[in-house]
Amino acid sequence: LRQRLRDLGAAEKLRQSRLLSRKVIGHPKYQGSQRIAVFLSMPDEIQTEEIIKDIFKQGKECFIPRYKPQSNQMDMLKLSSAEDISSLTLTSWNILQPRDDDSTREEALASGGLDLIFMPGLGFDKKGNRLGRGKGYYDTYLERCMKHPSGKPYTIALAFREQICESVPVAENDVQVDEILYEDC
């Protein structure tokens, strides 16, 4: 899967990302959600910049992951605007996120929870199984969501069609995604 992603050209990644952004913006679950968590893309992931801009254009609330190194703990912290991304720091994994000592941002589960989470991954199958990058951040976070009064948010994985497999390996603590969006779905 990593090789398939490396073989995808920049123009093709951009084409599929734009197509998925349009699918997301027209999606009923997106339109009906107010509190939305979305990942900030790494180069081998669907680019989420257009989705983030639309979240703010629609007056919705946007939350992004902050990963805690040496653990599988992740929080979803509120972005104040699309431009706020430029104030974030780059981690050793090359991911933009709020600084560890940034305590000014609202954490989604400390307040109203989330309606919708857009999830990244390495590979997916059509049954809703997701192969992540091995740390279990999203699975652990979804377990925390299930304990929140607002319950588990709807989850949509964003994938290049090259990431769709017949099956991906799963463990018992892996949480299936509700829906996978890709070019041919």
Domain residue limits, the chain: 1-181
Residue numbering of the annotated binding site for substrate: 40, 45
pTM of the model: 0.95
Residue numbering of the annotated binding site: 40, 45, 130-138
pLDDT at residue 94, as a whole number: 82
Q: Measuring CA to CA, which residue among 60, 71, 19, 15 is closest to residue 37?
A: 60
Does residue 11 carry a pLDDT above 90? yes
Q: How far apart are CA 24 and CA 28, in angstroms?
A: 9
User: Which two tokens mark 20?
Assistant: 């998925």
H helix or E strand, kind and range, residue 156: strand 154-158
Residue numbering of the annotated binding site for ATP: 130-138
Residue 142 neighbours by CB under 8 Å, 6+ apart: 117, 152, 155, 175
Does residue 174 carry a pLDDT above 90? no
| 1-181 CATH fold | Rossmann fold (3.40.50)
Q: What is the pLDDT of residues 43-101, one digit of tens each?
A: 899 999 999 999 999 999 999 999 987 888 899 999 999 999 999 998 887 889 998 88
Mean pLDDT, the chain, integer: 93
